[in-house]
Amino acid sequence: MTHEELLQEKLDELQKSYDLVVDHFDKMSEGYQESLLLYDKLEEKCNELKETNVQLDIARQRAEDASRMKTIFIQQISHEIRTPLNILSGFTQVVTTPGMELDDDTKADINRQITENTNRITRLVNKMLELSDASSMAVIERDEQVPAVQIVAEATEDSGIATAEHLTFDIQLSAEAETAILTTNQRAAVRALTLILDNARKFTKPAEALARQEEQSDKKRATLQADVTDGFVRFVVEDTGIGVPQEESESIFEEFVQLDEYYDGTGIGLTVARSLARRMGGDVVLDQSYTQGARFIMTLPI
């Protein structure tokens, strides 16, 4: 074998070795790419699991909050019912005591307090019944022709906001609202607006638990405005009360939520109001742009 042939043989062997190395490198590269893809998939799954765990933590927290709120609600209802029952029981013992003589003023006062506390229990029972219906998705029949001014008048009277001594109340109706006729459910529409007005009345007044420590130097203000826009009547209830933090703008519509434990209440009024409005094709929202208290907007279709 000549020198050239030996050299060619060595070159051929080197070429084979090189080809083997290249092939091995290519396989290693493919394996590396597969490993990268697998790593990316595992990382994606890990992120999904982290997100799932976050959502589970949020759901758990909400469940715990709901359970706590329900417990508070039951305690509040028990207190709210026990107080008028004790009053009724006390007056019953007085008026049924043998030989007990009462003057006319005392009798009138007893009659007034019995009526007030009986109505108080009735309202509580009605609220509990409304709450049981609040989660319903059933559409409320809109088969009555009701003037917007009538809804305003009845809700104002039912809420008692116009006679509240701690605030000044004003009604402002646009020309369109004064003549607007809604195809709606009168009872449900009045009730929803009553609950919103009741919320304004309640949270413009100093909390009973702090009444001795707080001096209200000037009267608070509440207004009920009504106008017509895009086929809806807007009922806007605005007050200068304690307001609602932006981060709580939706949670206040959940069952049993009360942002201030010093205020009396059951935490279901806004829940019921929104449920009623939505089931009639409208809505209740909090206007977050208003910062001097709270402004709730209820819309109902004409």
pLDDT(93) > 70: yes
Quick one: pLDDT at residue 187?
Answer: 94
Confidence at 261, pLDDT banded by 50, 70, 90: low
The encoded tokens of residue 155 equal: 């809700």
pLDDT of 11? 72
Q: Whole-model pTM?
A: 0.64
SS (H, E, C) 122-184: HHHHHHHHHHHHHCCCCCCCCCEEEEHHHHHHHHHHHHCHHHCCCEEEEEEECHHHHHCEEEE
- Residue 106: pLDDT band (50, 70, 90) is confident
Residues 114-130: pLDDT tens digits?
Answer: 888 888 888 777 777 77
Q: Exposed (0-12), middle (13-18) or buried (19+): which is 298, by Cβ within 10 Å?
A: buried
- pLDDT at position 235 is 98
- If phi > 0 it is left, if psi is from -120 to 50 it is alpha, else beta; for residue 267 that is left
pLDDT at 209: 46
- What pLDDT digit, counting tens, does each position of 212-241 carry? 444 555 789 999 999 999 999 999 999 999
Evaluate if residue 278 carries a pLDDT over 90.
yes
pLDDT of residue 213: 46
pLDDT at 289 over 80: yes
The residue among 177 and 71 whose pLDDT is bigger is 177
Query: What was the pLDDT predicted at 98?
Result: 86
For residue 84, pLDDT beyond 90: no
Q: Which residue has the higher pLDDT, 36 or 193?
A: 193
The pLDDT > 90 percentage for the chain reads: 36
Residue of higher predicted confidence among 140 and 39: 140
Averaged pLDDT score across all residues of the chain = 83
**pLDDT interval class at 264 (50, 70, 90):** low
Q: What is the dihedral of CA 59, 60, 63, 68, to 10 degrees?
A: -140
- 72: closest CA among 259, 294, 272? 259
